[in-house]
């Protein structure tokens, strides 16, 4: 029975890699289309890498665009042996693992356009395998209609996969996860976040259904983000807005370096550092105890993100 299980796992891993690779193509094409709409010519450049110990990936990075100052859409499929210390922190048995996913972070040039992140992944660790993912929106200026659109797309996505995702739960999970406790702030206005959706090995079609769910999520990312970009990318901005954007980008850096699971997983499994830290914005600043004046657009954002996260 073990060889058959191994063959089945190997075949499924190959399918996961195919799906994830196609999502990278779809997402990059959609974002490059937005760059063209904004009058830019920048494109995603591929940068492939090999991991010592097994596997590798391809980072596609867009730099110095007209609409997007920096963006990365990374795929990886890595496998091998993890440290015993890290293995005990994950569900599953032994030290062998396989992980495949697509992860993206887009930092716009115009401060009126929000930063966005999404990730869809499959992980195997010994006798456990599971799926995770999500997307969240991080604006510098708050517009309720942008938040409403973003959430509506992901609510519809969850409803299409209601057997696996409850929108209310994964929306609340997102708000709790993307929270900086040392600041008392959410990273942005949320979205969805889910993890540890385990494959039920007693159901022959369960893994396929979860993979289809991941594929659907990646294919609807641009739908969630593009209308917001189009609505804001021509808004005039100046030094005030740019300075605020850089300050808020600092919160993004703090979260990714202190709390982000993907960053921790990549670094502790020997992933490529440059690709893992691709998510960091290109230009950031930290002030000292800076607070915007009451009644300003900057203060309106803080009022939104300083709401406490929902209880578990």
The CATH number covering residue 153 comes to 3.40.1500.10
Q: Is residue 147 part of a domain?
A: yes
Question: Within a 13 Å sphere around the CA of 48, how many CA atoms are in the beta-carbon half?
Answer: 4
Q: Is residue 235 part of a domain?
A: yes
Q: Is residue 16 part of a domain?
A: yes
- Mean local confidence (pLDDT), 276-281: 90
Of 172, 299, 293, whose CA–CA distance to 248 is shortest?
299
Q: What share of the chain is helix, strand, coil (3-state, %, to 5)?
A: 45, 25, 30
Tally of domains within the chain: 1
Q: Is residue 310 part of a domain?
A: no
Q: Is 288 helix (H, G, I), strand (E, B) or coil?
A: coil
Q: Which pLDDT band, with edges at 50, 70 and 90, does 270 fall under?
A: confident
- Mean local confidence (pLDDT), 237-247: 98
Q: Sign of torsion, CA 64 263 289 146? A: positive
Q: Is residue 312 part of a domain?
A: no
The pLDDT value recorded for residue 265 is 86
- Residue range 207-238, pLDDT digits in tens: 999 999 999 999 999 999 999 999 999 999 99
For the annotated catalytic residues, the residue numbers are 117
Q: Return the number of other C-beta atoms located less than 10 Å from residue 54's C-beta.
A: 16
Estimate to the nearest angstrom the gap between the alpha carbon of 29 and the chain centroid. 17
The pLDDT value recorded for residue 271 is 82
Using CA atoms in the order 14, 19, 21, 25, what is the torsion angle rounded to 10 degrees? 160
The pLDDT value recorded for residue 222 is 98
The pLDDT value recorded for residue 170 is 98
Q: Is residue 175 part of a domain?
A: yes
**Domain membership of residue 94 as a residue range:** 2-305
- Mean local confidence (pLDDT), 118-125: 97
77, 99 contact by CB (below 8 A): yes
Q: Is residue 32 part of a domain?
A: yes
Q: Is residue 58 part of a domain?
A: yes
Give this prediction's pTM: 0.94
- Residue range 47-69, pLDDT digits in tens: 999 999 899 999 999 999 999 99
The helix (H) or strand (E) run that includes residue 8 is helix 2-37
**Percentage of the chain exceeding pLDDT 70:** 98
- Residue range 80-108, pLDDT digits in tens: 998 898 899 899 999 999 999 999 999 99
What's the rounded Cα separation, in Å, for the pair 188 and 142? 9
The pLDDT value recorded for residue 6 is 54
Of 247, 222, 234, whose CA–CA distance to 112 is shortest?
234
Q: Average pLDDT, whole number, for the chain?
A: 94
- Residue range 148-194, pLDDT digits in tens: 999 999 999 999 999 999 999 999 999 999 999 999 999 999 999 99
Burial of 39 (0-12, 13-18, 19+ CB in 10 A): exposed
């Amino acid at each position: 029975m073990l060889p058959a299980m191994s063959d089945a796992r190997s075949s499924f891993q190959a399918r996961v890699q195919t799906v994830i690779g196609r999502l990278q193509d779809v997402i990059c094409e959609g974002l490059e289309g937005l760059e063209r709409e904004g009058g830019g010519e920048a494109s995603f450049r591929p940068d492939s890498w090999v991991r010592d110990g097994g596997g590798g990936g391809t980072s596609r990075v867009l730099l110095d665009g007209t609409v997007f100052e920096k963006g990365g859409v990374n795929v990886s499929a890595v496998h091998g042996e993890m440290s015993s210390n890290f293995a005990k922190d994950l569900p599953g048995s032994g030290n062998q693992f396989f992980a495949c996913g697509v992860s993206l972070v887009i930092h716009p040039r115009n401060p009126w356009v929000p930063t966005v992140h999404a990730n869809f992944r499959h992980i195997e660790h010994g006798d456990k395998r599971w799926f995770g993912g999500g997307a969240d929106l991080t604006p510098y200026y708050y517009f309720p209609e942008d938040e409403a659109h973003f959430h509506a797309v992901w609510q519809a996505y969850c409803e299409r996969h209601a057997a696996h995702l409850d929108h209310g739960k994964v929306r609340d999970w997102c708000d709790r996860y993307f929270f900086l406790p040392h600041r008392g702030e959410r990273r942005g206005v949320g979205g969805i976040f889910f993890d540890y959706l385990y494959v039920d090995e007693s159901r022959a079609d369960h893994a396929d259904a979860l993979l289809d769910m991941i594929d659907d999520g990646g294919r609807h990312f641009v739908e969630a983000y593009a209308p917001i970009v189009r609505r804001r990318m021509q808004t005039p901005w100046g030094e005030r807005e740019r300075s605020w954007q850089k300050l808020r980008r600092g919160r993004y850096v703090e979260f990714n370096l202190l709390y982000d699971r993907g960053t921790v997983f990549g670094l502790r499994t020997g992933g490529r550092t440059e690709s893992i830290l691709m998510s960091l914005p290109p230009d950031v600043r930290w002030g000292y105890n800076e607070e915007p004046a009451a009644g300003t657009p900057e203060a309106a954002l803080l009022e939104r993100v300083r709401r406490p996260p929902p209880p578990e």
